Structure 1
Amino acid sequence: MSWKILVVLFIGLLAWSYKALCPPPALICGSLRGPPITAPRIKLRDGRHLAYKEHGVSKDIAKYKIILVHGFLSSRHEGSLTKSELVEKLGIYFVSFDRPGYGQSDPDPKRTMKSTALDIEELADQLGLGPKFFVVGFSMGGQLIWGCLKYIPHRLAGATLIAPVVNYWWSSFPANLSKEAYYQQSLRDQWALRVAHYAPWLLYWWDTQQWFPSSSVANGMPNFTAPDLKVLRELRSIAEPGYATQQGKYESLHRDMMIGFGKWDFDPMELENPFTDTEGSVHLWHGDEDGIVPVTLQRFVAQKLQWIQYHEVPNAGHLFAHADHAKDAILNTLLVGKE
C-alpha cells in the first residue's frame, strides 16, 4: 500500500472521528431550524433566555415563594409539588424553569454549578420574589441545590433536596463507601459515569455509538424499583423527554452528566450551615429503596452535615415525592417546620 493511500485513509479516519466526537449544533428555540418560543422567558445577564412557568397562588398575595429545579429528562412542566392541597392553604407561589439547554431555555456552553445558581438568583430578581426565597430540587435538580447553598446562601429562606444525585468522586466520601455504591449501578451506567468524569469530551460519542450500551437513565430506562413502578402506574406522565431535549441531548442531558459527575470546585460536605440564626432550614429527602441514587451515600452526607434535616422514607424509590402524602410532608417541613 502506497504512502498516498495511507495518507488518504488517515485523513478519512480523522474526519470520521471528528464527526463522531462533535455533537451537532443545538436547535435554538426561535431560530430558523429550532422549536418555536411559546413560554414566558427572561433575558439573563449574558444574553441567554430562561423559560419559566408559574404555579400556585399569585406571587402578589403569596406567603411563601418557591423556585422549583427540575431533574434529568424533565422540564418546567414538572410541578407535582404544586398539586398539594397545602398550596392554597398556606399561600404558596411556585415558579419552575427550564434549565439551560432544556425545553425553551437557551443552552449555556459555559454552564457550571455556579452559573445555574446565579440563573436562579436572577430569575428571582426579575420576577420580583424579594430578598429571600425557597428552593426545591428533585434528583439532578436536587444536586443543583448544593450550588445554591454554596453560591447564593444569602438569598435563601430555606432549601429542600429531594433524592439528589450524588457525585461518586466527592472527596469527603470514604473510598470504600463510594466504590461500593458505584458498583451497585449497572455496568452500562458505570461506564457512562466514568466517561462523564474522566473523558467528558467523549460523552456525546459514547451515548450515540452502537457498540456498547450507553447510560440507561439518558436513554429513558432508569433502574426504577418496585415502589417507583407503583408510582408510575398511578401517574399519567412525569417527564416529557421530547420537550425537554428538543434543542438537542448534548446541551441538556450530556452537559448535565458532565457537570454532575465531573470535577467540582467544592465539596458539598464541607459547606457551612447558612441558617445559623434558625430562621431557615435545609432538608434532604431520600427513599430507602432508591435504585438510581444509593441511599448509603445520602446517609453519609447527612451524617457529615448534621445541620441538614434528613428524612429517609421507608419502602420508597426515586419517585416517592410524586405521592400525595409525600408532597404535603415535604412542604410542611420546609415551610411550617413539621411533617
Structure 2
Amino acid sequence: METVVRPAGRTLEYLVEGPEDGLALVLHHGTPGAAINRDGLFPPDVRLVLISRPGYATSTPNPGRDVASAAADTAAVLDAAGIAEFVTAGWSGGGPHALACAALLPGRCLAAATIAGVAPSDAEGLDWLAGMGAANVEEFGAARAGAAKLQAFLHEAAGPLATVRAADVVEAFGDLVSEVDKRALREGFADYLAASLRHALSAGIDGWRDDDLAFCKPWGFALADIATPVSLWQGDQDRMVPFEHGRWLAAGLPKAEVHLVPGAGHVSLLSRIDQIVATLRRQAAG
C-alpha cells in the first residue's frame, strides 16, 4: 500500500498492481469500501489502481467533500504512480466517482464504466429510494436528515460490518441482497466484500458518512456534459441500487453504451468484469 499527500496535509492510501505496460484501470470501490484487490477478478494484463476514498481505512477524512473531488484525488494518485492516461470503473457507490473522472479529467480519462452505480439523489422523475432494501431506505433517509442523524445511524450499522467475515456477509446484508447476489457471495465474492468492509471501517465511519452526504447533494458536474466514452451496467435484481437508477442514468448519459442486464444483481454483476474491461479497452482505443 502506498500513500500520496494532498492539500492541508491529508493523505490518500492507494494500491497499484499489475504490469507497468498494462491497461491502467482505476477502480472506485463501493460504499463503504476501501482499496482491496480480489485476486483473479481482473484480466492479468490490467494495471489496477485502487484508492481508499477520504475517511476510509488510513485515508485522511475530507469533511464536506463532494463527488467531484474524487477527480483531483485520482489525478494526484496517478501522478504519484507515473500513470498518464487511464480508464476507470466504479461499482455501486463508486459509480458516481468514476463519472466524476470522466467529466473532469477529459483527455486523460479515456473511458469510464458505472457498475450498479447510484443516480443523483435529486434526479428528476426518479423515486430515489424505491426498490431499495429496508436498511438502505433507513440509511439514506438519515443522510437526507443531516450529518448528525446519519452519524448516529452509521455508528450502529458499522458495528457488525467492521469485523464481518465471509461466512456472515449474506446474513449481515439481509434484504439488501437478492437471491442471485446471495449465490454470487457464496461462490466467492463474500471474501472480497468482507475484507473490503473490514479495511474500510478500521478507522471509523467518516468515509461512509461523507460518501452518503456527497450523494445527497449536487455532485459538482453535469452528466449531460460528459464527452468521455461511458458504459453503464445495471441488473434488474439489485436491492442496493435499484434498476430504475440504471434506467435514469441511461437517459441522463446520452452518449453512454447501455447494458441493462436481466437477471443480474448488485454483486453478481461483478462476474462480468472481463466484458466490462473489454468495453473500456475498446472505447479507449476509439
- Please indicate the TM-score interval, normalised by the length of the shorter structure: 0.7 to 0.9
Opposite residue 50 of structure 2, the aligned amino acid is: S
Could you list the runs of 5+ residues in structure 1 that have no partner in the other structure? 1-38, 276-280
Residue identity opposite 2:235 in structure 1: G
Matched, 1:333 2:286: no
Which amino acid is the alignment partner of residue 17 of structure 2?
Answer: H
Matched residue, 1:246: 202
**Corresponding residue number in structure 2 for 1:207:** 154
SS at match of 1:50: strand
Find the aligned partners of 2:120 and 2:283 in 1 and give their Cα distance.
29
Q: Provide the rounded CA distance (Å) in 1 between the counterparts of 2:117 and 2:239.
A: 13
1:152 Cα deviation from its structure 2 partner:
2.1
The letter for the 2-side match of 1:104 is T
Q: Alpha-carbon deviation of 1:266? A: 4.2
Deviations 1:155-191 (CA, angstroms, capped at 9, x unpaired): 2111111111223322xx21xxx23x52323455334
Q: 1:157 to 1:106 in 2, by over 3 A?
A: same
Q: Are 1:307 and 2:255 matched, yes or no?
A: yes
What is the CA-CA distance between 1:109 and the residue it aligns to? 2.0
Decide whether aligned partners of structure 1 residues 188 and 97 sit closer, same or farther in structure 2, where only a CA change above 3 A counts: closer
Offset of residue 141 of structure 1? 0.8
Distance in structure 1 (CA, Å) of the matches to 2:244 and 2:68: 27
Does residue 196 (structure 1) correspond to residue 143 (structure 2)? The answer is: yes
1:317 paired residue number = 265
| Partner of residue 27 from structure 2, selected from 68, 78, 89 | 68
CA distance, structure 1, for counterparts of residue 26 and residue 231 of structure 2: 15
Note the C-alpha offset of 1:337: 5.0
> 2:283 & 2:73 partners in 1: Cα distance?
28
Q: For 1:124 and 1:147, how far apart are their aligned partners in 2?
A: 15
For these two proteins, the number of residue pairs brought into alignment is 271
User: Which residue of structure 1 lines up, in the alignment, with residue 166 of structure 2?
Assistant: none
Counterpart pick for 2:93 among 128, 140, 147: 140
Give the superposed CA RMSD.
Answer: 2.6
Aligned to 1:56: 18
2:211 pairs with 256, 259, 270, which one?
Answer: 256
Q: What whole-Å deviation, never above 9, does each CA across 1:82-130 have from its counterpart, x for those lacking one? A: 633x43xxx3211112111112212212422222211001111111101
Matched, 1:83 2:83: no
User: Structure 1 pair 337/144, CA: closer, same or farther in 2 (3 Å)?
Assistant: closer
Amino acid at match of 2:98: I
2:165 is matched with: none
Instruction: Find the aligned partners of 1:193 and 1:167 in 2 and give their Cα distance.
Output: 12
| SS in structure 2 of the partner of residue 289 of structure 1 | coil
Q: Is the 8 A contact 1:73 1:218 kept in 2?
A: no
Shift in CA distance, 224/49, structure 1 to aligned 2, threshold 3 Å = same
Cα separation, 2, equivalents of 1:186 and 1:266: 28
C-alpha separation in 1, matches of 2:120 and 2:52: 22
Q: Which amino acid aligns with 1:113?
A: V
Distance, in Å, in 1 between the alignment partners of 2:91 and 2:110 is 18
Aligned equivalent of 1:158:
111
Please state which structure has a larger fraction of its residues in helix: 2
Aligned to 1:120: 74
Residue of structure 2 equivalent to 1:98: 52
Distance 1:79 1:118, change over 3 A: farther
Which moved further from structure 2: 152-161 or 199-208?
199-208
Equivalent-residue separation in structure 1 for 2:216 and 2:75 (angstroms): 23
Judged with a 3 Å threshold, the aligned counterparts in structure 2 of structure 1 residues 105 and 208 are, in CA distance, closer, same or farther, namely: closer
Aligned pair in 2 of structure 1 residues 261, 328: CA closer, same or farther (>3 Å)?
same
The answer (yes or no) to whether the contact 1:69–1:141 under 8 Å persists in 2 is yes
Question: Given the superposition, is the C-alpha separation of residues 117 and 186 from structure 1 closer, same or farther in structure 2, using an over 3 Å criterion?
Answer: same
Specify whether residues 332 and 188 from structure 1 end up closer, same or farther in structure 2 by C-alpha distance, changes over 3 A only. closer
Residue 41 of structure 1 aligns to a residue in which SS?
strand
2:111 match: secondary structure: strand
CA distance in 1, matches of 2:148, 2:222: 23
Task: From the superposition, tell whether residues 188 and 135 of structure 1 become closer, same or farther in structure 2 (CA, over 3 Å).
Answer: closer
1:221 matched residue in structure 2: 173
